[in-house]
């Protein structure tokens, strides 16, 4: 049988039910009553003991949301979401304050172990030496893990060292209590409460998330990381993250997530806001592997995310790197507003879709300041019956003289039942801007696979190798240990896609 046919047949049989991380942890949880109303918003705010201004902010967003319509322009199809038939808040029932990891519910820690996501600082304490592929010892990397389990942070580590550096890294709910002036100053200034349907919903009911503030001139002494996980059936997840790098500051933030298998679709509508002042830099990396649904696409996560960075200061920089392999529906456009003169935005993306997954993702680079630059590298891989759309917007406003953008957008198809689409919007309102756009779509080449297999690799090993080669430009943007993890994830998510 010719390889193409074989590949296609195998793809038809994909068993996404084998989703590796599909299990449910049995932790008692406390839920808000089902449905969404002003009372739900008040319940959440009260649970978190929020000040009056925060409640008012939420209620304002809620009232706004009632007047909005769900967007329908993306190339995704899903059954109508019944917003009254979902829970908007759930927290594991446990002691509210934790001093160390020892106090974390062992079942939760066990869950992380199953996920193969070690709490990295344990490794570091144990003196584990990491090596790269060529056997060189890697410099010790320290990752502070603010583990988010369901909606509430259950463990925060490295707090002391960060504190010494003056870095604030804490759950959003704590920041509202402890640093209200910072939260008030920045929250909603990048993604306003009225921004879009999902962001507005998030503003009304957000449960928790991370807050980071790096003071002027400080280089954050470690990479900050949060693992998100959705664990409660019918629980909408509404994370809210806000990261501020003050003048000349630098921070690298890593977010990674997986979710257990569940029958009901799980709605996720996160909002991430980044702000950089003069000469500051934020590097935000995501490895996303939520449950994509079964072979018929049933039960997967709906992921509607609003991520936006504001390069407010001159010569500041924001860089988004994402590896997207999960979710039934992905609707996500991490963007940069290049407001400060000389500021720079970057977007590096790997989006893999398999089975029945639908991905509509991309970025917006909005050039407002002079001499601003941006770079977009997007690698889409479609297998099975999935659909993968890159949607990108690059604009330069009248005053954004000498704006520069380079976009490279490559798609790779595995089999002949999947789709890849590229939808670029480009708009320059001044004559000195230069935008370059490159795009390609290719099928995974049988000659390449045969070459690899002649050397002894199985069809799956060969595909993984070729795909990893295809995404290399983006992988190398990730911090080393995450690159290794992402590489594994790519192989896992393509399992069963070739014959």
Partner 1 sequence: MSLLEIKNLHVEVEDKKILNGLTLTIEKGQVAAIMGPNGSGKSTLSYVLAGKDAYNITEGDILLDGESILELAPDERAAKGIFLAFQYPVEVPGVATMTFLRTALNAQRKLRGEAEYSTPDFLKLVRETSAKLGVSQEHLRRAVNVGFSGGEKKRNEILQMAILQPRLAILDETDSGLDIDALKTVSEGVNRLRSPERSMIVITHYQRLLNYIVPDVVHVMSKGRVVKTGGKELALELEAKGYAQYSDEAA
User: Given the rule CB under 8 A, which residues bind partner 1?
Assistant: 1-3, 6, 131, 133-135, 445-448, 450-459, 461, 465-466, 468-473
CA dist., res. 273 & res. 490, Å (int) = 27
CB of 334 to partner 1, least distance (A): 23
CB of 497 to partner 1, least distance (A): 17
CB of 6 to partner 1, least distance (A): 8
Q: Which is nearer to partner 1, 132 or 427 (CB)?
A: 132
Q: Which is nearer to partner 1, 371 or 378 (CB)?
A: 378
Cβ neighbours, 10 Å, residue 289: 25
| Residue 437 structure tokens | 């756009």
Q: Which is nearer to partner 1, 178 or 416 (CB)?
A: 416
For residues 291 and 493, the answer to whether their CB atoms sit within 8 Å is no
CB of 120 to partner 1, least distance (A): 22
Query: For the residues of 120-158, what is the DSSP string, one character each?
Result: HHHHHHTTPPPB-TTSPBPPP--EEEEEEETTEEEEE-S
Task: Map tokens 């990381």 to a residue.
Answer: 225
Q: Which is nearer to partner 1, 90 or 487 (CB)?
A: 487
CB of 3 to partner 1, least distance (A): 4
CA dist., res. 316 & res. 433, Å (int) = 19
Q: Are strands 317-324 and 281-289 parallel, antiparallel or unpaired?
A: parallel
Query: For the residues of 157-178, what is the DSSP string, one character each?
Result: -SHHHHHHHT-EEEEHHHHHHH
CB of 442 to partner 1, least distance (A): 10
Helix 3-12 crosses helix 446-454 at what angle (to 10 degrees)?
100
Task: Map tokens 């935000």 to a residue.
Answer: 284
Phi, psi torsion values for 125, nearest 5 degrees = -65, -35
CB of 449 to partner 1, least distance (A): 9
Q: Which is nearer to partner 1, 127 or 456 (CB)?
A: 456
Q: Which is nearer to partner 1, 6 or 70 (CB)?
A: 6
* Exposed e or buried b per residue across 72-105, where buried means at least 16 C-beta atoms within 10 angstroms of its C-beta: eebebeeeeeeeeebbbbbbbebeeeeeebeebb
Helices (H) and strands (E) in the chain, counts: 13, 23
Q: Which is nearer to partner 1, 127 or 135 (CB)?
A: 135
Q: Which is nearer to partner 1, 430 or 468 (CB)?
A: 468
Furthest-apart CA pair in the chain: how many Å? 69
CB of 491 to partner 1, least distance (A): 12
CA dist., res. 499 & res. 494, Å (int) = 11
């Amino acid at each position: 049988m010719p390889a193409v046919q074989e590949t296609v047949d195998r793809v038809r049989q994909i068993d996404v039910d084998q989703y590796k991380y599909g299990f449910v942890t049995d932790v008692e949880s406390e839920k808000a009553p089902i449905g969404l109303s002003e009372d739900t918003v008040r319940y959440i705010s009260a649970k978190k003991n929020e000040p009056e201004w925060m409640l008012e902010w939420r209620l304002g967003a809620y009232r706004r949301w009632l007047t909005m319509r769900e967007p329908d322009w993306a190339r995704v199809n899903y059954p109508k979401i019944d917003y009254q038939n979902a829970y908007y808040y759930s927290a594991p029932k446990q002691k509210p304050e934790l001093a160390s990891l020892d106090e974390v519910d062992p079942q939760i820690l066990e869950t992380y172990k199953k996920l193969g996501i070690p709490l990295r600082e344990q490794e570091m304490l144990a003196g584990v030496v990491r090596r790269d592929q060529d056997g060189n010892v890697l410099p010790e990397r320290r990752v502070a893990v603010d583990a988010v389990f369901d909606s509430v942070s259950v463990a925060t580590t490295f707090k002391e060292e960060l504190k010494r550096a003056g870095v604030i890294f804490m759950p959003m709910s704590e920041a509202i209590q402890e640093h209200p002036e910072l939260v008030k100053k920045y929250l909603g200034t990048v993604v306003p409460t009225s921004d879009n349907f999902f962001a507005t919903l998030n503003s009304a009911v957000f449960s928790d998330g991370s807050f980071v503030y790096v003071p002027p001139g400080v280089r954050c002494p470690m990479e900050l990381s949060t693992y998100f996980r959705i664990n409660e059936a019918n629980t909408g997840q509404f994370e809210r993250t806000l990261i501020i790098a003050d003048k000349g500051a630098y921070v690298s933030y890593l977010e990674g997530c997986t979710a257990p298998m569940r029958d009901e679709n799980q709605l996720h509508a996160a909002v991430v806001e980044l702000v950089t002042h003069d000469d500051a830099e934020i590097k935000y990396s995501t490895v996303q592997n939520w449950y994509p649904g079964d072979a018929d696409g049933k039960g997967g996560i709906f992921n509607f995310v609003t991520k936006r960075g504001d390069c407010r200061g001159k010569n500041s920089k924001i860089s988004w790197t994402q590896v997207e392999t999960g979710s039934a529906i992905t609707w996500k456009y991490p963007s940069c507003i290049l407001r400060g003169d000389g500021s720079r935005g970057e977007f590096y993306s790997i989006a893999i879709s398999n089975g029945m997954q639908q991905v509509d993702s991309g970025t917006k680079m909005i050039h407002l300041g002079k001499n601003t630059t941006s770079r977009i590298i997007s690698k889409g891989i479609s297998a099975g019956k999935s659909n993968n759309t890159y949607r990108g917007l690059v604009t330069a406003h009248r005053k954004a003289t000498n704006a520069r953008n380079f976009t490279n957008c490559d798609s790779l198809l595995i089999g002949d039942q999947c789709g890849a689409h590229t939808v670029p919007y480009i708009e320059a309102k001044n004559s000195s801007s230069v935008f370059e756009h490159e795009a390609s779509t290719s099928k995974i080449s049988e000659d390449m696979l045969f070459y690899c297999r002649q050397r002894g690799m199985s069809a799956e090993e060969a595909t993984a190798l070729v795909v990893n080669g295809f995404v290399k430009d983006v992988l190398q943007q990730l911090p080393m240990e995450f690159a290794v993890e992402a590489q594994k994830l790519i192989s896992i998510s393509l399992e069963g896609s070739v014959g």
